[in-house]
Structure 1
Amino acid sequence: MKLIFKSIFFLFLITFSFGKVQAQSRTKINFGADWEFKREEGSSPNWEKVTIPHTNRLEKLVVIKQFQGTSWYQKKFKTEASKDQKTFLYFEGVMQEADVWINDKKVANHKGGYLPFTVDVTPYLNSNNENTIKVKVNNEDNPDFLPGKPLKDLDFNYYGGIYRNVYLIKTSKLYITDAVAANKVAGGGVYVNFENIGKDEASGSIQVHLKNEFESDKNTFLKFILTDNKGKKAEFKSENFAIKSNTDFTLVQKISVKKPKLWSIKNPNLYQLEVQVILDNKIVDSNLLKVGIRKSELKADGYYLNDKKIYLNGTNEHQEYPYLGYAISDEAQYRDAVKIKNAGFDFVRLSHYPHAEAFLNACDELGILVMNSLTGWQFFGNETFQKNAYQDIRDMARRDRNHPSIIFWESSLNETEMSETFMKEATKTLKEELPFAHNYSASWIDNENYDLFIPARQHAKAPDYWTKYSKGNRKIFIAEYGDWEYYAQNAGFNQTEFSNLKEDERTSRQLRSNGEKRLLQQAYNFQEASNSNRKGAETIGEANWLMFDYNRGYSPDLESSGISDIFRIPKFAYYFYQSQRDANVVLDKKLASGPMVNIANYWTAESPLNVTVYSNCDEVALYLNDLLVAKERPFIGGNSDKLQHAPFIFKIEKFKAGTLRAEGFINGKKVASNVVRTPETASRIELSYDISSKAVNPEYPDMVFVYAKITDANGTVIPTATSEVTFALSEGNAEIIGQNPINAEAGIATIILKTKDLKNKIVLKASSGQLKDSTISITK
């Protein structure tokens, strides 16, 4: 049953009040504490205490023979539930098949590791007594559901365990459903859509799906509270309506917002929407979510956000951490999103599966546009597999449809030869779930069923790649570039100039330990490819491959074409991309923006004498030991003429140890500077930890990277240092994750510090031979 009510409200001008009602009844409690775990391998092990999120085995830095098999989780818990309440368990993600028992009764089976499921545990609970939940988790290869391809042949790893959050949710028996669990086409839960958007007004609808599991009919109404980012509220309510016993009901509320604060990549304005279910003057259930008002359009001449044409500059990301796999905190997800934004990107493609809800929330908050992606890579399965793929499209759309950051939906299987029937059904399924305009489907195959063509650069051939694509029926977004065309095809444009380079020197797959010349080549490859992409008339944007190094199922080494390594330490290419954001763009103070300059050189006797400087300034002056080398404008050539900001190139005749200093100028005024010093003898360790604008969670488990830099007396990192570093905790409730001791790579040794709670400070020490020790304290 569906009813439509009209209610126009004028934000900030009129506020409706409906008197006092009792506090809301819905509770959502993190259910991650006090679990027990064991793996089914060899002789039966004892149960060990764990906290969710959890990976079913800590792996090595380079994953070889990852654990695949069956694991068990169990938890004993008490819960109070009245006869008028419902109790649910919400699993954000379990890799990859889960069977759930409550008090020895099997209550659920879920297939697929990247999307959530809900278990209604109400009928199975011993109210006010102890209950036991058991979850059997299997992450073995299974061709019947996505990704389908055996791990040994897969280009990424899917790690086992209950690796995302679990929540215990209590509601009234009259309640707002979960969108995925409701399994209704374009329905379930809360669905917000703004169709008509302008500077003066935005109008649309809020759709709410309710269930009445009382034994009697109920007369109710909904109250809506919309709050902007300054705390100003607007309240309105639906008309009263009746829901019959044991039936469901959909209400569609028309809304209008005057002078809306639009969501954009520079100003990601978010509104908080609270939907309350009012019964007998009590709030019996409520749903709280963040929404954004923005206009996203593909037009004949490009992509437009809020009526402004933009070129989408983005990256790809895999969601893994070293050792922990996928089992990371919401704060860690947020920090990765911050790093993407700080690198100069305003777009991310979720390769090659739906990422965590916390990551999408961070993209909403930070202003990062998103291509959401169906799980898949080079595998097309049988009829069962295809049916599961359609259901995953539905579940992905239902989970994520309210995120303003998501502008494209990759409803295809990446680099997979799909049948015409599958592609037609996949896009039909997506459009059924997202029936409003400007929800765009995307595929790596140029097929008429899809709105956007997203090839990888290497899917075409040098030297033109996709610059001469002119079919005109679809726009192009280059979904991957900068890696494979250099790794496999060696297809850079400057083959003559680089003829003296070995194959492993030409590739973009470069670890930080490979040295500055090869890291410069990686950065140059990305620059060359990006510049070329921008020459395509039909190309609306690009996503480089990729943001962070990662593990693959089929290869016993790290895939190292990230512009940061697996520990999130930037390479030179990171600063190339950071320089592509205009200096006049000012983002939230917690983010990196504005004028920047970075010297891509270690300045040692082996360093290139052609010094590359990345900057978004008009001019850059370079000094060697305080003597001016030159003041240059950007170097514009055939491989930099389409860039937003070409690099600066300085020629130094002879190496002299000391200091390189670059100063950036805009309109003749110095606005940025960067210094690089010749490293001297290693003498000490400098410890630091990374929170990327998100403090360590004081209550739930969190994880942060801790970096031990091997430096000289001046604090300059020794880029060739491989010293063995030992980390030791002397105080606080935390755990060191990773190899310990561990050898430094390019002067930096890294571990992950996993905190359990941060009620008291954590004290960590790093030591290495004759080097001066370093100690840091971490507090909330």
Structure 2
Amino acid sequence: MNFLSRCILGCLGTFCILTTSFAQQNTGRKRESFNDDWKFQLGNAADVTKDANYGLAVIFSKSGKAENTAIATKFNDSAWRNVQLPHDWAVELPFVNKDNENLKDHGYRPVGGLFPQNSIGWYRKKFTVAAADSGKRFSITFDGIFRDAKVWVNGFYLGGNESGYVGFTRDITDYVSFKTPNVIVVRADATQAEGWFYEGAGIYRNVWLSTYDNLSIADDVFVHAVVTGSTANITVEATVQSQGLKPTTCSFYAEVTNSNGKFVGKTHPQQFTIAQSGSQFMKQQLTLSNVDLWSIEQPYLYHIKPIVTVEGKQVDSRDIRFGVRTVEIKADGVFLNGKFIKIKGTNNHQDHAGLGSALPDYLQYYRISLLKQMGSNAYRTSHHAPTPELLDACDSLGMLVLDEQRLLNSSPEYLDQFERLLKRDRNHPSVFLWSIGNEEGYAQTNSFGKRIAQTLLAKQVQLDPTRTSTYAADLANVYTGVNEVIPVRGFNYRQFAVAGYHKDHPTQPIIGTEMGSTLTTRGIYVKDTVTGYLPDEDITAPWWASKAEEWWPLAAKNNYWLGGFVWTGFDYRGEPTPFKWPNINSHFGLMDVCGFPKNLYYYYESWWKDEDVLHVSPHWNWKGKEGQKVNVWVNSNADDVELFLNGKSLGKKAMARNSHLEWDVTYQPGTLKAVATRNGKKISSQVKTTGEPYKIKLSPSKNVLLADGRDAVVVNVSVLDKNGLEVPDAANLIEFSCEGASIIGVGNGDPSSHEADKMDGNWKRNLFSGYCQVIIRAGNTPQKVIIKAASKNLLGAELRY
């Protein structure tokens, strides 16, 4: 089965579990998607006359005063563009070849201080609220805006949020109109970056409108468990808050249902009186027998429903998914439910081909599925708070998460960001470890770093005593600053220093927070410094990093390594090491920006999965190289491998653990076949010389598309010869059209492609090393969806939903 077929099966198997952490209730609380019907317009950071008059009008002198600006409810936004969230305006901009280090690291998109005309984004949305909801409370939740956001409702300023990654919620009750349309306005300022990688710009994550009672359960519910044998003692902590005008006598309890919705337990109701505008902290427990544990192999999820009632009537509740599991992190390993596991992780940024940072929820499941298929069991959110849906995907699919704070800083701003991160993510069973920061050169080794770390660690223990923390340090055997106080020592590279550090600190757990960093370009086998390509094998690494076979054998055989996280699972925009322009994205990924695997993917798959793996590279289309030597690599976890060219044996070799095999083969067209023995069983794999491209092949990631306006499908594109073989070096231009749904992005994994990711119709993309990708988003109404692909001199293809 080829990679594309495996992607289809893997994603089909996971699609049905898409949910949100806080589901809409039938009890008076509603949580509705607020992603549709926004208007968008670029502002200007340097010219106030082109920034919706924001810098000229006096808008803070009187409450609600917003005349003559885009903040005003009567502002005419008819000329603004219609957008659906999530939205990233940076990915829509053209590439700019400018000799600027910051621009290079952000993928040559013209956003930032040098480009004030592209660095401010204005969003407006009109919405109505039913008069029947008068007396309710209303709040808006933004899961992520990049960056430095300011928000108004009906001209009233709600406040700002500096972080580009941690979401925020604002109560809008006092500003809602029930008789006329309401207007919410957002100004996002992406002038200043937070990272040294592509970050996007705009409201690039989901937005939610919540409606609830004046007596309600706050957002910071905390669910955790103590497991003894097959019994789990569940603790639920919640804050009941009243924004009513008089004291209220109410009752609080929580119900638990299993994954099938069956009732399995309930806490004892507790009655109390809550003061006017007061709050009451609640902590209750219940016991579950014959509990199903959450694990990587069986990610079982329960639901807990905290409920508050008045005179027997339910007035508010939450629906929170949680998993019951134990995690112990010791000097000799990570133990999940008492079982030793080696961390086989990847680091990843959040962008994807064609989409920038604005990913539909389904893409989170798609990307995690690809990593799971490779054998990865852990994901580090480098270097920032993830979108909530990524954690939902990891909960559902069984992927551990190292959840990371953006900066090592204990100022009120960053301590608040860390607190929001902890409260938001602590109910996810996938999160097994926190990270308080990454490679802070200014504070890593001195007393500043130590004191900041102590403050952050104290906050983590206060809000989540069930887990511990690490810090990603790019140091060798150093025990100063942050490392004096961090519970789990993180190593970014410096893999050969780990043994010495362990000898000096034998009781401290050690994890490779960043390892590897082999530089490869999918399907390319010769270094090209002009175009910016590197050979697609484990042979090139930057000076500060290592190749796969230099770090993984150390981690695999030594239990004082908890394991590690490869830099990276996917290529990402920016940091085009070791080249600059024309490169616009990194080469670090085991997969490219589309999720197409490179050959290094199969090295890790060989040693991270207990399944038969046998992969031969390169492809076998080398016209003009007849009689010349071609270096052939075989990645496998077999005991031995024999290689054949057109039926003739080229020799059998034993496979060393955590390694690979090589042959220098004199090229002849035909069939290159590997036959291996693993545990007494024969397995085989081959590559063949193909004919010329003949027809297009479309491989969708799933066969069902929900008409909810949010669902998506990834369609991978290749071309076949007349014998039905995929042509691995095809470079045809493919043109796309879609009826009944929307194309939202295209890509091909070429790190030097300057083709547009977004197009106003006329969608197209060249194949790169045989593949490209088109991403489709569903419409809001059930109808036929037809996706077509065409190319000059090729038979076309289409999909129907």
Query: How many Å separate the matches in 2 of 1:510 and 1:298?
Result: 45
Q: CA deviation at 1:567?
A: 1.3
1:90 corresponds to which of 141, 144, 148 = 141
Q: 1:716 to 1:757 in 2, by over 3 A?
A: farther
1:615 corresponds to which of 619, 636, 641 = 636
Q: CA deviation at 1:758?
A: 6.4
* Residue 76 of structure 1: aligned partner: 126
Aligned AA (2:81): E
Q: 1:397 to 1:294 in 2, by over 3 A?
A: same
TM-score, length of structure 1 as denominator length = 0.81
* Residue 439 of structure 1: aligned partner: 468
The answer on 1:449 being equivalent to 2:485 is: yes
* Residue 581 of structure 1: aligned partner: 608
Query: How many Å separate the matches in 2 of 1:600 and 1:166?
Result: 45
The answer on 1:357 being equivalent to 2:374 is: no
* Residue 178 of structure 1: aligned partner: 219
Q: 1:714 to 1:414 in 2, by over 3 A?
A: farther
Q: CA deviation at 1:393?
A: 1.3
- The CA deviation string for residues 705-751 of structure 1, in whole angstroms up to 9 with x for no partner, is 4333133222333333322222233x223135343433221122333
* Residue 424 of structure 1: aligned partner: 454
Q: 1:191 to 1:768 in 2, by over 3 A?
A: same
In the TM superposition, 1:275-314 aligns within 5 A as: 275-314=306-345
Query: How many Å separate the matches in 1 of 2:559 and 2:353?
Result: 40
Query: How many Å separate the matches in 1 of 2:211 and 2:767?
Result: 49
The answer on 1:331 being equivalent to 2:375 is: no
Q: 1:580 to 1:656 in 2, by over 3 A?
A: same
* Residue 174 of structure 2: aligned partner: 123
Aligned AA (2:83): V
Instruction: Note if contact 2:492-2:512 (Cα within 8 Å) is conserved in structure 1.
Output: yes
* Residue 26 of structure 1: aligned partner: 29
* 3-state SS in 2 of match to 1:580: helix
Q: 1:433 to 1:370 in 2, by over 3 A?
A: same
Instruction: Note if contact 1:24-1:282 (Cα within 8 Å) is conserved in structure 2.
Output: no
The answer on 1:397 being equivalent to 2:422 is: yes
The structure 1 segments of at least 4 consecutive aligned residues displaced by more than 6 Å after TM superposition are: none
Q: CA deviation at 1:662?
A: 4.0
* 3-state SS in 1 of match to 2:460: helix
The answer on 1:681 being equivalent to 2:692 is: yes
Aligned AA (1:559): S
Instruction: Note if contact 2:615-2:636 (Cα within 8 Å) is conserved in structure 1.
Output: yes
Q: 1:52 to 1:404 in 2, by over 3 A?
A: same
Query: How many Å separate the matches in 2 of 1:532 and 1:203?
Result: 39
In the TM superposition, 1:485-496 aligns within 5 A as: none
Query: How many Å separate the matches in 2 of 1:288 and 1:352?
Result: 29
Q: 1:199 to 1:614 in 2, by over 3 A?
A: farther
2:109 corresponds to which of 59, 65, 86 = 65
Q: 1:733 to 1:367 in 2, by over 3 A?
A: closer
Aligned AA (2:349): H
Q: 1:113 to 1:695 in 2, by over 3 A?
A: farther
Instruction: Note if contact 1:467-1:536 (Cα within 8 Å) is conserved in structure 2.
Output: no
1:480 corresponds to which of 493, 514, 539 = 514
Q: CA deviation at 1:772?
A: 2.3
Instruction: Note if contact 2:632-2:665 (Cα within 8 Å) is conserved in structure 1.
Output: no
Farther off after superposition, 442-451 or 318-327: 442-451
TM-score, length of structure 2 as denominator length = 0.79
Query: How many Å separate the matches in 2 of 1:510 and 1:695?
Result: 39
Query: How many Å separate the matches in 2 of 1:438 and 1:135?
Result: 36
Aligned AA (1:689): P
Q: CA deviation at 1:136?
A: 1.3
Query: How many Å separate the matches in 1 of 2:743 and 2:404?
Result: 34
The answer on 1:521 being equivalent to 2:539 is: yes
The answer on 1:100 being equivalent to 2:151 is: yes
Farther off after superposition, 550-559 or 107-116: 550-559
Q: 1:761 to 1:620 in 2, by over 3 A?
A: farther
Query: How many Å separate the matches in 1 of 2:704 and 2:255?
Result: 29
Q: 1:159 to 1:651 in 2, by over 3 A?
A: closer
Query: How many Å separate the matches in 2 of 1:653 and 1:53?
Result: 49
Farther off after superposition, 253-262 or 354-363: 253-262
* Residue 262 of structure 2: aligned partner: 232
* Residue 407 of structure 1: aligned partner: 432
Query: How many Å separate the matches in 2 of 1:448 and 1:651?
Result: 48
Query: How many Å separate the matches in 2 of 1:741 and 1:85?
Result: 48
2:701 corresponds to which of 680, 690, 696 = 690
* Residue 545 of structure 1: aligned partner: 567
2:587 corresponds to which of 549, 560, 583 = 560
Q: CA deviation at 1:522?
A: 5.7
- The CA deviation string for residues 355-413 of structure 1, in whole angstroms up to 9 with x for no partner, is 1100001111111111101114xxx78xxx83322222111101101111111111124
Q: CA deviation at 1:702?
A: 4.2
- The CA deviation string for residues 272-297 of structure 1, in whole angstroms up to 9 with x for no partner, is 11122222222211101111111111
Aligned AA (2:669): A
Q: CA deviation at 1:235?
A: 3.4
Query: How many Å separate the matches in 1 of 2:255 and 2:364?
Result: 28
* Residue 232 of structure 2: aligned partner: 202
Query: How many Å separate the matches in 2 of 1:352 and 1:79?
Result: 38
Query: How many Å separate the matches in 2 of 1:438 and 1:168?
Result: 31
Q: CA deviation at 1:128?
A: 4.4
Q: CA deviation at 1:132?
A: 1.2
Q: 1:109 to 1:619 in 2, by over 3 A?
A: same
In the TM superposition, 1:497-516 aligns within 5 A as: none
Q: CA deviation at 1:510?
A: 11
Q: CA deviation at 1:673?
A: 4.4
* 3-state SS in 1 of match to 2:457: helix
* 3-state SS in 2 of match to 1:454: strand
Query: How many Å separate the matches in 1 of 2:94 and 2:718?
Result: 22
2:88 corresponds to which of 39, 48, 55 = 55
Instruction: Note if contact 2:741-2:778 (Cα within 8 Å) is conserved in structure 1.
Output: yes
- The CA deviation string for residues 429-458 of structure 1, in whole angstroms up to 9 with x for no partner, is 222222x2443343426512211111211x
Aligned alpha-carbon RMSD (Å): 3.0
Query: How many Å separate the matches in 1 of 2:253 and 2:427?
Result: 19
* Residue 10 of structure 1: aligned partner: none
Q: CA deviation at 1:198?
A: 2.7
Query: How many Å separate the matches in 1 of 2:641 and 2:256?
Result: 48
Aligned AA (1:72): W
Query: How many Å separate the matches in 2 of 1:519 and 1:209?
Result: 54
* 3-state SS in 2 of match to 1:250: strand
Query: How many Å separate the matches in 2 of 1:273 and 1:70?
Result: 41
Q: CA deviation at 1:616?
A: 3.6
Query: How many Å separate the matches in 2 of 1:619 and 1:274?
Result: 54
Q: CA deviation at 1:351?
A: 0.7
Query: How many Å separate the matches in 1 of 2:93 and 2:604?
Result: 31
What is the aligned-residue identity percentage? 26
Structure 2 unaligned regions, length at least 5: 1-24, 53-76, 96-105, 113-118, 747-755, 757-762
Instruction: Note if contact 1:737-1:754 (Cα within 8 Å) is conserved in structure 2.
Output: no
Query: How many Å separate the matches in 2 of 1:222 and 1:110?
Result: 33
Query: How many Å separate the matches in 2 of 1:603 and 1:687?
Result: 23
2:192 corresponds to which of 128, 134, 141 = 141
The answer on 1:600 being equivalent to 2:617 is: yes
Structure 1 unaligned regions, length at least 5: 1-21, 148-153, 180-189, 488-500, 584-593
**Number of residue pairs the alignment of both structures matches:** 682
